[in-house]
Amino acid sequence: MAHIARLAGVSAPTVSKVINGHTGVALDTRQRIEDIIREHGYQRADSGPVSVPIVEILFQALDSLWALEIIRGVEQAIRDRGLAVALTEMQGRQTPGRAWTEQLLTRRPLGVIAVSADLTTRQHAQLRARGIPLVALDPTGEPAHAIPSVGATNWNGGLLAARHLLDLGHRRIAMINGPDSYLCCRARFDGYRAALETAGVDVDPSLVATAPLYVDGGIAAARRLLDRPDRPTAIFTGNDLQALGVYEAARQLGLRIPEDLSVVGFDDLPFVRWSTPALTTVRQPLAEMGAAAATTLLRVTAGEALEHDRVELPTNLVVRHSTAPPPTDTR
Amino acid sequence: MAHIARLAGVSAPTVSKVINGHTGVALDTRQRIEDIIREHGYQRADSGPVSVPIVEILFQALDSLWALEIIRGVEQAIRDRGLAVALTEMQGRQTPGRAWTEQLLTRRPLGVIAVSADLTTRQHAQLRARGIPLVALDPTGEPAHAIPSVGATNWNGGLLAARHLLDLGHRRIAMINGPDSYLCCRARFDGYRAALETAGVDVDPSLVATAPLYVDGGIAAARRLLDRPDRPTAIFTGNDLQALGVYEAARQLGLRIPEDLSVVGFDDLPFVRWSTPALTTVRQPLAEMGAAAATTLLRVTAGEALEHDRVELPTNLVVRHSTAPPPTDTR
């Protein structure tokens, strides 16, 4: 490397930057160094594979603004380091297939952020062997290996949502939640239950449903809850898409929101403030979560020790117009 | 290469696949070949820089489901080829900065899809020199260089929207459009004008506004149009976000949709069917456009000749509940 630096008339760190794919070297200098490397046959692979200045995000599915908010946060956090974002999705599965690992090793990213994804033990070993660090964002289940993870204070978000409805006078408060296999959904339910129980309200199991975290899931679950004579006066949902499904179910049944039914969502996606009525929801800072995952990844890459394996960013309740006191006859 | 193939006990094409970063080689074979290459010092750079199996998408801003739909389409089209998507955004600018080009050359993607982005002559030259092909999706302006581009039939979409409103009996039909610098927006306006003129209705310039393609832009422009005594009975917008802005402006002014005001959007983003009322809009097949851009890029990469520089995928009108005949007193 010193020899190449001498030939190019630059410092050894500059040569190292070019070899390792880092930025901060003028284009013509970079080209001169690359030409010399080509002529003199420097073996880049000497110290293991060179990583590409990319951070890869692994999603279950790229089908909601939820994903885009996370992407934006990662992109903004790594942009100034000259890094780009790469994406792969698992077509809805929770664990990536074998092809993903093979292709990942070909792409050689600086690191991977796995969103609601579980890697197998073998996949963990493969990434570790290649020196590709991994950070989890909202891991589906308990990670089998100690890897850093980022999330939101889901338990507290569930507590805030249910307390808001209790404060308005509701007692028959249903919850439509995402699948039990998601730890973040379990935490939201536990917060809801804690709010009810500390207010002296028993959780009625027949008012608790699980459904896919999409509009259709919300419609189907809400139809079942609202079709019964002793229907709930409020529904708290596992995410905003399910809440929009509750809106649609209420419309089909001729129920007015918030006069006949209060609804609280979760996420605060950019468009729910424009729904009619504007949705009351628990905001989780998705872009900030993406940025925190990226920053954690860069710290791991730089060999820094982390103080905490798990970081949770704060949630807060955004009160809009989909919640009101329950109808008088049900109080 | 033949020598390495002999040492590894595989065919020369297999070695070539590994050297060029393609998939379809078992992991242990790949590792054996890479070990031999390391020992024997094969110079990968001999035939120019090796590209990374990534297709890069360049966006102005990653701030709408519009972007996510395009990403999904690209991802689905290239997934089976073992390729991943990388993203960069220009923070709202129309032309990427110098840093982008430098970093791109470090990342060495297979090719670039530029979405509503204009590259400079120098940037075109740099990409060409490195053999990185470029495909445009909805180029902002007339591309300065002949590059393949993909879009939707925007002119026809504008025609369909305005015809639908004319057929319902509207005559005072306003248009809130995106900036004039976007060719796709100009085409939508031209279609709207053609529909009006062929129906014998003059375009009233005071009913034509331009605004940023976001909810806030739609609110501001709609407030100006709806505050006047001779307000329009229908508004066609440049995209769905602007249409949601019209919803909000109408709500602020106490106007009912569709009884007092009809609204037609453009895009058909996944959530507008859940707005209240469900939005009538012109659907452009964003995911299919992303897939078409990716397929075009792969064909260019493979050295195929393209029959057409420009391909436009069809738009169609999706009639929902935001359009109705105009109020009786204005007919």
Q: In 3D, which of A163, A206, A223, A157 has the Cα closest to residue A185?
A: A157
* Average pLDDT for chain B: 88
Q: What does the pLDDT read at residue A71?
A: 95
Decide which of A6 and B55 is more confident: B55
CB contact under 8 A, B276 and A274: no
Residue span(s) of chain B under CATH 3.40.50.2300 come to 52-152+286-314, 154-284+317-330
On the question of pLDDT at B48 being above 80, the answer is no
First to last CA, chain B: 78
Q: In 3D, which of B136, B276, B48, B81 has the Cα closest to residue A251?
A: B276
CB A44 within 8 A of CB A19: yes
- Fold held by A52-152+286-313: Rossmann fold (3.40.50)
* A86-144 confidence digits (pLDDT tens): 998 888 788 888 888 888 888 889 999 999 888 888 888 888 888 899 999 987 766 55
On the question of pLDDT at B143 being above 70, the answer is no
Decide which of B176 and B120 is more confident: B176
Alpha-carbon gap: B86 to the closest alpha carbon of chain A (Å): 4
CA-CA distance, A83 to A86, in Å (whole number)?
10
CA-CA distance, A324 to B276, in Å (whole number)?
19
Please give the ipTM for the structure prediction. 0.71
Alpha-carbon gap: B203 to the closest alpha carbon of chain A (Å): 30
CB contact under 8 A, A52 and B52: yes
Across the strands, what pairs with B236? B175, B264
CB contact under 8 A, A99 and B84: no
On the question of pLDDT at A207 being above 60, the answer is yes
Q: Extract the runs of DSSP E, i.e. beta strands, from A188-313.
A: 208-210, 234-237, 262-267, 280-283, 310-313
Q: Which of the four CATH numbers 3.30.230.10, 3.40.30.10, 2.30.30.30, 3.40.50.2300 does domain B52-152+286-314 have?
A: 3.40.50.2300
Chain B interface disruption, residue of A105, A271, A321, most B CBs within 10 A: A271
Q: In 3D, which of A74, A119, A125, A115 has the Cα closest to residue A100?
A: A119
Best-predicted range by mean pLDDT (A31-40, B40-49, B132-141, B210-219):
B210-219
* B163-199 confidence digits (pLDDT tens): 999 999 999 999 999 998 888 999 999 999 999 999 9
CB contact under 8 A, B23 and A106: yes
Decide which of B302 and A99 is more confident: B302
Nearest chain B residue (CA) to A108: B52
Secondary element (H or E) of residue B102: helix B98-107
Q: What does the pLDDT read at residue B23?
A: 64
Q: How many helices (H) and strands (E) does chain A have?
A: 11, 12
CB contact under 8 A, A84 and B88: yes
CB contact under 8 A, A271 and B108: no
CA-CA distance, B76 to B288, in Å (whole number)?
10
Alpha-carbon gap: A103 to the closest alpha carbon of chain B (Å): 6
* A291-304 confidence digits (pLDDT tens): 999 999 999 998 89
Share of residues in chain B with pLDDT > 70 (%)? 92
CB contact under 8 A, B82 and A103: yes
Band (pLDDT 50/70/90 cuts) for residue B46 is very low
Fill in the amino acid letter for A143: P
Q: What does the pLDDT read at residue B44?
A: 45
Average pLDDT over residues B278-291: 96
Nearest chain A residue (CA) to B29: A102
Best-predicted range by mean pLDDT (A33-47, A153-167, A302-316, B92-106):
A153-167
On the question of pLDDT at B31 being above 70, the answer is yes
Nearest chain B residue (CA) to A270: B64
Chain A interface disruption, residue of B103, B257, B322, most A CBs within 10 A: B103
Q: What does the pLDDT read at residue A51?
A: 79
Residue span(s) of chain A under CATH 3.40.50.2300 come to 52-152+286-313, 154-284+317-330
Residues of chain B with C-beta less than 8 angstroms from the C-beta of A21: 106
On the question of pLDDT at B60 being above 80, the answer is yes
On the question of pLDDT at A21 being above 90, the answer is no
Considering only CB atoms, A54 lies closest to which of B62, B86, B99, namely B86
Considering only CB atoms, A84 lies closest to which of B34, B45, B87, namely B87
On the question of pLDDT at B21 being above 90, the answer is no
CA B98 to the chain's CA centroid: 23
CB contact under 8 A, B274 and A276: no
On the question of pLDDT at A46 being above 50, the answer is no
Band (pLDDT 50/70/90 cuts) for residue B39 is low
Q: Which of A10-14, B76-80, B155-159, B196-200 has the lowest mean pLDDT?
A: A10-14
Residue span(s) of chain B under CATH 1.10.260.40 come to 2-47
CATH architecture of B154-284+317-330: 3-Layer(aba) Sandwich (3.40)
* Average pLDDT for chain A: 88
Share of residues in chain B with pLDDT > 90 (%)? 59
On the question of pLDDT at A48 being above 70, the answer is no
Considering only CB atoms, B102 lies closest to which of A23, A87, A274, namely A23
User: Spelled out in words, what is the top-level CATH class assigned to the domain A2-47?
Assistant: mainly alpha
CA-CA distance, B211 to B222, in Å (whole number)?
10
Q: Which two tokens stand for residue B107?
A: 């990342």
Alpha-carbon gap: B34 to the closest alpha carbon of chain A (Å): 9
Secondary element (H or E) of residue A125: helix A121-129
Query: Reduced to 3 states, what is the DSSP secondary structure of residue A12?
Result: helix
Q: What does the pLDDT read at residue B131?
A: 85
Q: What does the pLDDT read at residue B129?
A: 80
B92: left (phi over 0), alpha (psi -120 to 50) or beta: left
Chain B interface disruption, residue of A66, A79, A87, most B CBs within 10 A: A87
Average pLDDT over residues B236-265: 97
CB contact under 8 A, B99 and A108: no
